[in-house]
Structure formats: C-alpha cells, structure tokens
Amino acid sequence: MTTMANDSTTRDADAVTTPSDTQWPLWEVFVQPPGGAPHEHAGSVHAVDAESALQNARDVYARRGEGVSIWVVRSIAITASTPDDMGPFFDPGNDKPYRHPQFYKVPRGIRM
Amino acid sequence: MTPNKPETNTEDPARIAGFEARIAAGETIEPKDWMPERYRRQLVRMMSQHAHSEVVGMLPEGNWITRAPTLRRKMSLLAKVQDEAGHGLYIYCGTETLGVDRHELIQQLLNGTAKYSSIFNYPTLSWADIGAIGWLVDGAAIVNQTMLAKASYGPYARAMVRICKEENFHKRQGYEIMATLSAGTPAQKRMAQDALDRWWWPSLMMFGPHDTDSPNSDELLRWGVKRKSNDELRQRFINLTVAQAKAIDLVIPDPQLAFDEKTQNWLIGPIDWDEFWRVVRGNGPCNQERLAARRQAHDDGEWVRVAAAAYAAKQARAESTSEAA
C-alpha cells in the first residue's frame, strides 16, 4: 500500500484546464468486499469530479458484486512513504520480537 | 514527484545488480522503487500494447452484439465487451504508474504508432467467430495472462490477477457457443468448423515468434516480466485446446498435428510466419478498419467528455458561490 498513489500526480494538478482531454484528475479507488473485510486499493480512474469518479469506479472495479462500499480519493491527496524510507522508517517494528507470541515459552504439552 | 523519470536513473552496474537480485529473490517491484530505464521502457511498451489490445479487441465482437441469436447470448456478449473495456482501463492505470500519461498512450493508438495484438485485425464473418474468439483468443490470453499475474512489476501483476478472474467467463461462453453450434444442424456445424479453421493459426501466433526469433524474450525473462517463453506458453495452449476441440467434435485444421508420447505434447505443423509479420506490419485484413473505427469512437465521445467537464465546472462554481454566501 505504500507506493500506489501519488506516483503519477504532478500532471494531475493542471488537468482540469484541458476539458476534452482524457487526463481528468486521477482518483484512487478503494473497494470494500462483502463480509466485513477492510477497503482495499483496487486501482485508479480519471474523472472530472468525485461523483463521476465513484460512478466510474463502480463500472470499472465492481461489475460482479465485488464491493459493498467504494471510496475514491484524489491521488494527490495521498501521502505515501517512499522506498528510501524503507529501512529506518520501519525499523522500530523490526527489532522487537517480544511483540510476537512466539517470543514466550510455555511448558511442553500445554495448549494455549 | 515522478520518481521513475529518466533523470533519477543512474544506471550504474551495482544498482542494476541490486535490482536483479531483488527480482531473483522473488520481490515485487513497485512504482516508486528504482528500476533500470530499460525495464521501465519495456514495461511501458508491453503494458500499453496490452491495454490497446483490450480496447481494440472490443471491435470485432461489438460488431455482433446487435445480431446475437438470442437475448441470453446478447447479454453475455455485452457483458464480455464491457469487461474488455474495463481490462483496458486496469492496464492503462497500471501503465500510468510508470510515469506516462494515458492520454499520450491513447494518442499513439489513434495515430497508428502503437501496436496491439494482431489477432484483432482478422474479421468476424459469422456468429461462430464470436464463439471461436471466446474459446481460442480469450483462451490463449488466459494462458499468457496467468503467467503475467506473476510478473515482477506489482501493478501489472495485480491487474492480471483481476483480469484472469474475469476472462474465465469469456472463454466458457465462447466454448459454449461452439459446442452448441457443433451439436446443431449440419449448416451450424460447418459454421463452427469454418470459424475454427480461420482462428486456429492466428490464435497460435498470439504467443509471438518462436523463442529463437524473439529478441526481447531473454531480457523479459531475466527481469521476471515474463516467467515462461513464447513457445512454452503456446505449447500449453495447444495441449489444452486439442482435447477441447475433440470433445465437441471439431477438427483442428492441421494435418500434421500429432501426439508425442515422449514429451506428452501435441506437436503442430509449421506456423506461417510470413502471415504473422504481414499483419503485424499493418497489412492484415482489418488493420485500417479497426483504427478508423477506434478514431470514430473517440471523436464521437468528444461531446461526452466536454459535457462532463462543463458539468463539473458548473458544480464547482455553484459550490464556491454557496460557500461565499
């Protein structure tokens, strides 16, 4: 999820000024499947406004009941971590094995 | 920020070695990751050609929507053609993560500088051709795309996963059409056989030249864009399809077709590569017609694009006025 969105967004800003162009603003699409799973990034659509972005997203990413809910968000509105951050940014989570259950010993034969 | 633009790519050997090590370790390359400029260009080329193929692929089938023999067939065909439009959009969206504009790619399609799969330059002469396309063309595409679903570039692989799920319906509806015709009147059966006769060889050509004549293959395999060679994929498709043809009593139009016990493969006669190159270079039966239809559709859609933009501008004005008040 870290890299999807604002990879192609610099040209997005001036898109509204070229009305008959296909480069309308870019929106990232998140679809929530039935059954309570969280929204997941599905892809992107170009659309003039939020309402048509939702309609396009429905037609492109939910033709077979894939979703019970769709979010669309302007790609430029997403802040994402970069691959350069990878090491240091995620470090705090990598050196704490005591956050995992396997870190702890239990007597043999006990079911937890 | 468009991190994959050429200026950020300093192609020193150590960096490339690191990149190739990531691929060898089975890691996925994501849009913001460093990648050799050549990898980026190969992907733009492959992915845009693939997206264009989905879009142009709507034309031969769209041709038969109004003449589908039953309402059930018409609904299926409409849904299939709509899927192809969606598939084009998934892949254009993936290609845009490599720092190119969809607009630019579509212009290349419309002005004839971009390539798309040659199979769509063949005409759909009878209803059975719609069956043959679903069965053979989508069948071949599934074999190719199942492999591409494991491609090293994340956005491409994810688009392929989505597409593969949907294409299975395309293949089955096509095979059902062929099976129904083959079990029908003698005239219907002849129609099915005729469609198989015309679509069989072009379908095999969809996998591209033999491995020995495919200059891009080595690099694409090394970089994990492709996981299997053209000939391996073609063989897989042939092995699957021969049994399917037999099951519905149709004959593969190849007198040299023979089963090889040793390799457990169906071996075929020679492919007419002159025909392949003729169609790739723009001299197939429908190259001009397809592009003309695509341009016409694009021009006919202009008022919709203008209207949508005008509506959005009006809404935005109304919002800013009400905020001011």
The 3 state secondary structure assigned to B157-189 is: HHHHHHHHHHHHHHHHHHHHHHHHHHCCCHHHH
Distance from CA of B204 to the nearest CA of A (A): 30
The Cα A81–Cα B140 span in angstroms is 39
Q: pLDDT value at position A12?
A: 43
Q: Which residue is listed with tokens 């579509």?
A: B106
Q: Which residue is listed with tokens 């990034």?
A: A41
What is the DSSP code string of B12-32? -HHHHHHHHHHHHTTPPB-TT
Which of the pair, A7 or B62, is modelled with greater confidence?
B62
pLDDT at A81 over 90: no
Portion of chain B with pLDDT greater than 90, in percent: 85
In the beta sheet, which residues pair with residue B190? none
Distance from CA of A112 to the nearest CA of B (A): 34
For B246-276, b where at least 16 C-beta lie within 10 A, e where not — what string? eebebebbbeeeeeeeeeeebebeebeeeeb
Over residues B185-206, mean pLDDT: 98
Over residues B211-239, mean pLDDT: 93
Element (H, E) at B108: helix B102-110
What is the DSSP code string of chain A? --SSSTTS-GGGTTGGG-TTSS-PPEEEEEEEPTTSPPPEEEEEEE-SSHHHHHHHHHHHH-TTS--SEEEEEEGGG-----GGGHHHHHHHHHS-GGGSGGGS---TT---
pLDDT at A84 over 80: no
Over residues B17-27, mean pLDDT: 93
The Cα B125–Cα B174 span in angstroms is 15
Q: pLDDT value at position A22?
A: 53
How, if at all, do strands B265-267 and A40-46 pair? unpaired
Mean predicted lDDT score pLDDT of chain A: 81
Nearest to A60 among B30, B86, B102 (CB): B86
Q: Per CATH, the architecture of A10-84 is what?
A: Roll (3.10)
Q: pLDDT value at position B319?
A: 84
pLDDT at B5 over 60: no
pLDDT at B164 over 90: yes
Structure tokens at B35: 């990648």
In chain A, domain spans? 10-84
> Cβ of A60 and B90 within 8 Å?
yes
**B156 near B47, Cβ under 8 Å?**
yes
pLDDT band (50, 70, 90) for residue B325: low
Over residues B261-270, mean pLDDT: 97
Which pLDDT tens digit goes with each residue over A28-79?
999 999 999 999 999 999 999 999 999 999 999 999 988 999 999 999 999 9
What is the DSSP code string of B59-103? HHHHTTGGG-SSHHHHHHHHHHHHHHHHHHHHHHHHHHTTT--HH
Which pLDDT tens digit goes with each residue over B307-324?
998 998 898 888 888 776
Nearest to B305 among A20, A61, A82 (CB): A20
Q: pLDDT value at position A15?
A: 41
Which pLDDT tens digit goes with each residue over B202-217?
999 999 999 999 888 8
pLDDT at B55 over 90: yes
Which pLDDT tens digit goes with each residue over B283-295?
999 999 999 999 9
Mean predicted lDDT score pLDDT of chain B: 93
Q: pLDDT value at position A68?
A: 95
For the domain made up of B6-285, the CATH class stated in words is mainly alpha
Cα B279 to Cα B95, B160, B270, B296, distances in angstroms = 25, 26, 17, 22
Pick the closest to residue B134 from B168, B165, B170 (CA basis): B170
pTM: 0.88
In chain B, domain spans? 6-285
Size of interface A-B (CB pairs under 8 A): 94
Q: pLDDT value at position B144?
A: 96
Q: pLDDT value at position B216?
A: 81
> Cβ of A8 and B308 within 8 Å?
no
**B19 near B225, Cβ under 8 Å?**
no
Cβ neighbours of A10 in B, within 8 Å: 1-2
Angle, in degrees to the nearest 10, between helices B102-110 and B71-96: 120
